[in-house]
Structure 1
Amino acid sequence: MEHKNSSRARLSPSSDTEDIVALLAPRLAYFAGVARTEHVTRAAQEMQVPQSTLSRAMVRLEADLGVDLFARRGRTVALTPAGRTFLASVERALADIERAAEEVRADADPTGGKVAFGFLHTLGTETVPGLIRGFRADHPRVRFSLVQNYGEAMLERLRAGELDLCLTSPVPDAPDLEARRLDEQRLRLVVPGDHRLAGRRRIRLAEAADETFVTLEPGYGLRRITDDLCAAAGFRPRIAFEGEEAETLRGLVQAGLGVALLPPPTVARPGVVELTVTAPRAVREIGVAWLAGGGPDTPPVAAFKRFLLSRRGHLLPE
């Protein structure tokens, strides 16, 4: 296994990383096997490769690196200091590869795997936990990576390949995305408990034209819907506060800082009154979106997509 007279050219420090990776990658498992057994013949038997193949691979590995990894004593070998340093990194790399292989095999398992699922903050308290509970009744081994965010941010994560599916509003209409409408949710005008309109049950949105509004920040779907509904009612809302979460806005309303168009709360909040908006029709559509042309879904993603589509018209809790 002596290699010092080998005519094989050594890689220089300036060699491209891609070149050295291509040269070294096939030999790392061989190197780890020889280092573990400290015996070329035994390592060849364990890995079920010809001893000559293993010997040549070690000679070429040392030549490519330009260092001695083994001290040879007959049929046995021992790691040099450089070999011990190299082995530590090789074992970590092989362990990472093994974990990655296990993960992709698990994701392709029709009875298991993982779904990266995004959804709006306002759907996180009841809707999404109920959906996952219902789905896992028939798919108990499927795991979820859950992401809560506003609509535009989730669509960007879809495009980046970080999400498989997302529930969002409004339902996107973009050439690079597929989307299906699943349900709609009524929005209410939320006013403080001591507000002049608090004794009402229903209201036309135009009656709130002179009110101060609290809304979500621009970029949020609910903000766009609020602006559109107010425009349809003939006015532009006067906005005092912008936030990132619906229940925070409800708290601002409770504090008397404005009124807001919001979806129903999970739990009724004291100190506010929620009025049904009779005109214009105040709803937000909720749909599921995924990347168009992204190739076939993994079995768990395909199963969860079918499940969501089967909930069309009854996605939301009563």
Structure 2
Amino acid sequence: MLHEESITQGTAELDPDAAAVLLAPRLAQFAAVARLEHVTRAAQALGMPQPTLSRAVARLEEELGVALFARQGRTVRLTRAGRLLLGSVERALTELERGAQAAREEADPAGGRVAFGFLHTMGTDAVPALLRGFRADRPRVRFQLVQDYVGAMLERLWAGELDLCLVSPMPTDPELAARQIDEQVLHLAVPADHRLAGRCRIRLAEVAEEPFVALEHGYGLRAITDGFCAEAGFSPRIAFEGEEAETLRGLVVAGLGVALLPPGPVPRPGVVELAVTAPRTRRAIGLAWVAGRPLTPPAAAFRDFVLSRRGRLLAHD
């Protein structure tokens, strides 16, 4: 029952987190009684039996160790302590509803949000084309776009900060789902005045003694470059390391080294891109997500759209 007098605290002092767990289910019930000032009407509004609501409010008073309501005939009135609590409860419930609404909007199939990560080299043509194609049917879906190297993207994927990411090389973690979408040719970029610049094709072993410019360790393209050089029988002599493919292309133009790079967005004066005949310098581009973790409807729809573009993600030579 509801009490007029202060109630002796029935429980020991609680850790704040433990108190929140105990009190949270009863706060909306308390607020309903406080707004309507009538237990029976509040129970009807909440769709629960009146005795159940009365017991819930009584337990809340017992746990707090203070009376929240005073009876006045068939109605109830907040005590001073009840008024203090109601202000905080209403703010909390408003914030909770705001969070719930944001969560619903995030998962809205027609207008939710997709957190999508991709390699820097995919940002010029491939990703804009994907987004344009997808939004032709779902124009209200929003995207959070993240460009980063593979290791950082996979960490953010695991942390739940990303729904999906385009990666290369393909991840080997068995707890990640990954599907190859396309394959990208890597060319050997050399300065326009390089001794091999007049050639159309070369074997990678022909530049074994040349200085290379490459991405830093941790980038997928760096691991791929090291791997292809190992196939050709040598370890590349890295003269400069960078964080972005177009920066490497600029270093090549400056004559500071050669590099294995994907095709540039537009031809760049001062650099010649040679086809490599041995080994077969191609990298797999794949889409990855966390296996067993449900995707929101918009993220699942975008995943299916990207998978449907298999073999058509990139412009091929």
TM-score, shorter chain, exceeding 0.5: yes
Give 2:3's aligned residue. 2
Q: How far did 1:88 drift?
A: 4.4
Counterparts in 2 of 1:51 and 1:174: CA distance versus 1, 3 Å: closer
Q: How far did 1:183 drift?
A: 0.7
Map 1:166-245 → 2, pairs under 5 A: 166-245=165-244
Hey, what's the Cα distance between the residues in 2 that align with 1:261 and 1:86?
Answer: 65
- Aligned AA for 2:193? D
Contact 1:183 1:287 (8 Å CA) reproduced: yes
Contact 1:40 1:51 (8 Å CA) reproduced: no
- Aligned AA for 1:304? F
Give 2:12's aligned residue. 12
Q: How far did 1:197 drift?
A: 3.1
Counterparts in 2 of 1:88 and 1:195: CA distance versus 1, 3 Å: farther
Give 1:303's aligned residue. 301
Contact 1:3 1:63 (8 Å CA) reproduced: no
Counterparts in 2 of 1:2 and 1:139: CA distance versus 1, 3 Å: same
Counterparts in 2 of 1:97 and 1:87: CA distance versus 1, 3 Å: same
Q: How far did 1:216 drift?
A: 0.9
Hey, what's the Cα distance between the residues in 2 that align with 1:71 and 1:243?
Answer: 71
Q: How far did 1:4 drift?
A: 3.6
Counterparts in 2 of 1:70 and 1:139: CA distance versus 1, 3 Å: same
Identity of aligned residues (%): 65
Give 2:77's aligned residue. 77
Q: How far did 1:243 drift?
A: 1.8
Contact 1:215 1:241 (8 Å CA) reproduced: yes
Hey, what's the Cα distance between the residues in 2 that align with 1:225 and 1:47?
Answer: 61
Give 2:314's aligned residue. 316
Contact 1:3 1:59 (8 Å CA) reproduced: no
Contact 2:7 2:66 (8 Å CA) reproduced: no
Contact 1:125 1:266 (8 Å CA) reproduced: yes
Map 1:1-318 → 2, pairs under 5 A: 1-2=2-3, 4=5, 6=7, 9-13=9-13, 15-17=14-16, 19-36=18-35, 39-40=37-38, 44=42, 47=46, 54=53, 56-67=55-66, 69=68, 75=75, 77-78=77-78, 80=80, 83=82, 86-294=85-293, 296-317=294-315
Q: What RMSD in Å do the two structures reach over aligned CA positions? A: 2.9
Contact 2:188 2:274 (8 Å CA) reproduced: yes
Hey, what's the Cα distance between the residues in 1 that align with 2:188 and 2:67?
Answer: 76
Partner SS, residue 213 of structure 1: strand
- Aligned AA for 1:190? A
Segments of 5+ residues of structure 1 without an aligned counterpart are none
Q: What is the TM-score normalised by the length of structure 1?
A: 0.84
Hey, what's the Cα distance between the residues in 2 that align with 1:272 and 1:144?
Answer: 35
Counterparts in 2 of 1:234 and 1:28: CA distance versus 1, 3 Å: same
Partner SS, residue 147 of structure 1: strand
Contact 2:30 2:57 (8 Å CA) reproduced: yes
Encode CA deviations 1:143-170: one digit per residue, 9 max, x unaligned. 3232222112222333333332221111
More displaced, 56-65 or 161-170?
A: 56-65
Encode CA deviations 1:184-213: one digit per residue, 9 max, x unaligned. 111111223333333333322222112211
Contact 1:186 1:264 (8 Å CA) reproduced: yes
Partner SS, residue 97 of structure 1: helix
Q: How far did 1:79 drift?
A: 6.2
Q: How many pairs were matched up?
A: 313
- Aligned AA for 1:208? V
Hey, what's the Cα distance between the residues in 1 that align with 2:83 and 2:120?
Answer: 50
